[in-house]
Amino acid sequence: MTDARDMTPQAKIEIRGLDKAFGAKVVLDGLDLDVNEGRSLVVIGGSGTGKSVLIKCILGLLFADGGSIRVDGDEVTGLQGAALDQVRLKFGMLFQNAALFDSLTVLDNVAFGLVAGKGMPRAEAKDIALDKLAQVELGPEVATLYPAELSGGMRKRVGLARAISTEPEILFFDEPTTGLDPIMGDVIDQLIVKCVRELGATALSITHDMASARRISDRIAMLYGGKIIWEGPTDEIDHCGNPYVEQFISGSEEGPISFLMGS
């Protein structure tokens, strides 16, 4: 997704020294990371390494123990209430299992951020929601269904439509291909790339699916031991010379990464 606009990359999200622990278990340990404007960064790492915690700290769903997170240069750690909601309007997020509201129809789900978050009149929001559904290649016949009636791939698409409905500046994707077959995974990845490009948004994804990571990223960062241990352009990852990254992308059991949790 690289193009001419990122001649001078500017940090949309700037994370410095981020700490987060649950009880005695340290998950993030002085993490530094920049996500540049208009670019797509994918954070890879094994299960339980704190990828979701990282995203939840940025969104203010979890409170960081220490460190700084700046969005557009403004500190967001410690924000609460209306100020936090104001920052959250910049974000759209696709959750791992889509997290659709199962008491609402597909259309109400997609229109939710517009009606409840931005206070748009219902009729207008529904027109936009239909547009967004079309963008993820779902027809109006899906709009009246409830999330329980959808397949996994369709739920992801609706989740994506909901994430882009408010036209956010920053999009987060939590394991976008988990639970999908490889073909559907590819379809979702292509929709993600398309939507991010059309919005001109900054994207931050977390995944452990290397094929997906290569498809949707400009840059890749690897999270291990609570820190970013490698970061670079996607096409350099295969010869980065970092033994941790090499072990992860080859999926080998042998290497420096310890599988004993909590070590």
Note the residues at the interface with another protein (CB under 8 A): 56, 59-61, 85-86, 88-89, 91-93, 95-97, 99-102, 112-113, 116-119, 162, 166
Question: Smallest distance from the beta carbon of 119 to another protein, in angstroms?
Answer: 8
Pick between residue 96 and residue 105 the one whose CB is nearest to another protein: 96
Nearer to another protein, 33 or 163 (CB): 163
- E strands, 134-213, where? 170-174, 202-207
Number of H helices, E strands in the chain: 8, 10
Closest by Cα among 29, 104, 38 to 67: 29
Q: Which is nearer to another protein, 88 or 215 (CB)?
A: 88
Radius of gyration from C-alpha coordinates of the chain: 18
Least separation, in Å, of the C-beta of 18 and another protein? 19
Rounded-to-integer distance, Cα 133 and Cα 203, Å: 20
- Report the nearest approach of another protein to the CB of residue 88 (Å): 5
- Rounded to a whole number of angstroms, the minimum distance from the CB of residue 127 to another protein is 18
Shortest approach of another protein to residue 177 CB, angstroms?
Answer: 17
DSSP classification of residue 237: G
Side-chain-side CA neighbours of residue 136 (13 Å): 30
Between 174 and 231, whose beta carbon lies closer to another protein?
174
Q: Tell me how far apart the alpha carbons of residues 151 and 166 are, in angstroms, rounded to a whole number.
A: 24
**Residue number, 49 or 52, with CB nearest to another protein:** 52
When the beta carbons of 13 and 237 are compared against another protein, the nearer one is 13
Which residue, 5 or 118, has its beta carbon nearer to another protein?
118
Output the smallest distance, CB 223 to another protein, in A.
Answer: 20
**Segments in 22-104 forming alpha helices (H):** 51-58, 81-88
C-beta of 159: minimal distance to another protein in Å? 9
Cβ-based neighbours of 71, under 8 Å, separated by 6 or more: 12, 13, 58, 87, 90, 170
Q: Which residues contact 110 (CB under 8 A, 6 or more apart)?
A: 129, 132, 133, 158, 161, 162, 165
Q: Copy the structure tokens of residue 119.
A: 């206070």
In DSSP notation, 87-106 reads HHTTEEEE-TT----TTS-H
H/E element holding 198? helix 182-199
